[in-house]
A and B are shown apart, each in its own frame.
Chain A
Amino acid sequence: QVQLVESGGGVVQPGGSLRLSCAASGFTFTRNAMHWVRQAPGKGLEWVAFLRYDGNNQYYGDSVKGRFTISRDNSKNTLYLQMTSLRPEDTAMYYCAKVRYGGDQYYFDNWGQGTLVTVSS
């Protein structure tokens, strides 16, 4: 079955950096676009970033553009999110999500359990 396991979260000071990982299994990772979504404590879902199956065409939410970089290593079935210049408002649970698409369908059909990032001095 599909498994997405995030790791790399933790406590970091404002201005610091962190790299999140999402290990994928149970599906053909190399054929799937992947996304990162975050959720601040007690708040709603916020889409963060998207990367096509081949690693080309990256898209970012306005709040993270220029600070975060999404990438993937298809040989390791792993998705990454490099976060720099972190701010307290980046504090959130970060989820990776797999896409199912075709025709008029495009949705996140599997999610990881999340990894918590806390930005605080």
Chain B
Amino acid sequence: DIQMTQSPTSLSASVGDRITITCRASQSVDTYLNWYQQKPGKAPKVLIYAASNLESGVPSRFSGGGSGTDFTLTISSLQPEDFATYYCQQSYSTHFTFGPGTKVDL
């Protein structure tokens, strides 16, 4: 199975900050890499698909990059509603593994 890692595990930030979360795959996943946001008690919501494509309705302050094994999710100016946990997921293989998550708090 393809293993996914994320860093950092958690980070503390302020409104207006620019933050970057990193995701690494144990082998190449090409650009089959997605990012999800999850708030407490809610289902996950997709932000970025195919490494760098913004899902419809997602604010443009979110962006994704990378290919192969190394990927990033960047929030250009953190807003109060962005404090949540973020997960990467590979969809290259038929075991659609998620990263362990990065919790962003105030």
Contact = CB atoms under 8 A, between A and B. Distances in A.
Interface residues of B, number: 27
Interface in B12-64: 30-32, 34, 36, 38, 43-46, 49-50, 53, 55
Nearest to B91: A106
A59 B55 CA distance: 26
B43 A95 contact: yes
A45 interface: yes
Interface string A96-112: 00001001111111011
A47 B53 CA distance: 22
Dominant secondary structure at the B interface? loop
A112 B43 contact: yes
B49 A105 contact: yes
B85 to A, nearest CB: 8
A59 B91 contact: no
B81 interface: no
Nearest to B101: A44
A61 B98 contact: no
B94 A45 contact: no
Contact of B101 (A35, A45, A95): A45
8 contacts: A37-B44, A44-B101, A50-B96, A59-B94, A108-B34, A108-B89, A109-B55, A114-B43
Interface of A: 35, 37, 44-47, 50, 59, 61-62, 95, 100, 103-109, 111-114
- In the complex, the 7 A-B pairs of residues with the closest C-beta atoms, listed nearest first: A111-B43, A106-B91, A107-B49, A107-B34, A45-B98, A47-B96, A59-B94
